[in-house]
Amino acid sequence: MRELFLKIFTEIPADENTGISMFSWSHILYLVAILGVVVLAIVEVYCIKKEESRRTKILDIVAILVAVSYISDFFLQPFWHGGTLLENGEIILDKFPFHICIVLCPLILFSRFSKHGQKMKSAVSVVAVVAPLMWLIYPGTALDTDQAFFSYEVFQLFAYHGLVFIYGTLCLAFNESKLNIKKCYEEAILLVGISLWATFGNILYSCEDHDYNWFFLKDPVFGFIPESINPYVVIVVFYLSCLVIYGVYYLVKYLATKKLRRA
């Protein structure tokens, strides 16, 4: 059994045709597939099966798939690279839920399936669009690897970020999360909370062998940003991106309402 898993999840070196780079055909293929799932789900709910319960079922399934994609990776990591990952196949600590995209997994589950998390559902939905979308446009961890685009490591990265993005987008499209600009402070509170959580992880796990930079709070994303103000800049950039989602949400809502009035 172990040999089979090693064969399935081992490293697949990339060549000129199978490597993934910024907006290469393989990168675009992943993006089209993810957006295709969003479009198909919206078409099914609004054009084929116009049932309120259908929306809930789809979102429940996507939320569960987010959790499965994340948790299963911990059990599969030791089989990467022929079982020699990090010398002995240990778990990658970078995968711990301190980064903004990864911490969205427990936040999605909590806001969706717990009555205590209902109040943060809208904020989680907006951040679930913004954070993975940034990664999907610039998939740094996938670009840094020399593995083929269809290898497990690359596939898992796109699958997880794609599912989180799909969840957030469908929450807004299905009106599960009705945005109110007067409550846009909720996203700011959530981002500050995530930054404090990431700071805790950076302090707790960083050592001489490895300096963790969850939520990009230590090393500036852009070289021209002074390191002393970088954490604040990161939070502001993410928050402004959330406000852009609000703008798109209201624009789509306005256009849809205008079309219904004409009909």
Residue 96 pLDDT = 92
pLDDT in the model for residue 145: 80
More confident residue, 4 or 158: 158
Measured over the CA atoms of residue 180, residue 35, residue 57 and residue 115, the dihedral's sign is negative
pLDDT of 80: 72
Instruction: Measure the CA–CA gap between 22 and 137, rounded to whole angstroms.
Output: 8
| Highest mean pLDDT (candidates 97-101, 211-215, 223-227, 230-234) | 97-101
Interacting residues of 63 by C-beta distance below 8 A, sequence separation 6+? 108, 109, 112, 113, 167
Q: What is the pLDDT of residue 255?
A: 85
Residue 211 scores a pLDDT above 90: no
Would you say 152 and 8 are in contact if contact means Cβ atoms under 8 Å apart? yes
Which of 20-29, 34-43, 100-109, 225-234 bottoms out in mean pLDDT, i.e. has the lowest?
225-234
At residue 210 the predicted structure's pLDDT band, cuts being 50, 70 and 90, is: confident
Is residue 32 scored above 60 in pLDDT?
yes
**Binning pLDDT at 50, 70 and 90, where does residue 85 land?**
low
Greater model confidence, 217 or 261: 217
8-state DSSP, 16: T
CB within 8 A of 234, min separation 6: which ones?
195, 215, 216, 217, 221
| Amino acid letter, 218 | K
Residue 20: burial class (beta carbons within 10 Å; 0-12, 13-18, 19+): buried
- pLDDT of 83 reads 55
Binned at pLDDT 50, 70 and 90, residue 89 comes out as: low
Residues 6+ away with beta carbon under 8 Å from 27? 20, 21, 139, 149
In whole angstroms, what is the distance from residue 169 CA to residue 86 CA?
A: 36
Cα 86 off chain centre by:
25
CB neighbours (10 Å) of residue 160? 24
215: confidence class by pLDDT, cuts 50, 70, 90: very high
Instruction: Calculate mean pLDDT across residues 8-18.
Output: 79
Structure tokens of 138?
């610039």
**What per-residue confidence (pLDDT) applies to 78?**
78
Q: Model's pTM, two decimal places? A: 0.93
Three-state secondary structure call for residue 138: coil
pLDDT of 219-246, one tens digit each?
877 777 888 888 899 999 999 999 999 9
46-72 per-position pLDDT tens digit: 887 777 788 999 999 999 999 999 999
What is the phi/psi pair of residue 65, to 5°? -65, -35
Angle between the N-to-C axes of helices 230-262 and 185-205, in degrees from 0 to 180, rounded to the nearest 10: 150
**pLDDT tens figures, 123-132:** 999 999 999 9
Structure tokens at 79: 């089989």
CA separation for the pair 213, 142 (Å, rounded): 17
pLDDT, one tens digit per residue, over 148-188 is 888 888 999 999 999 999 999 999 999 888 899 999 999 99
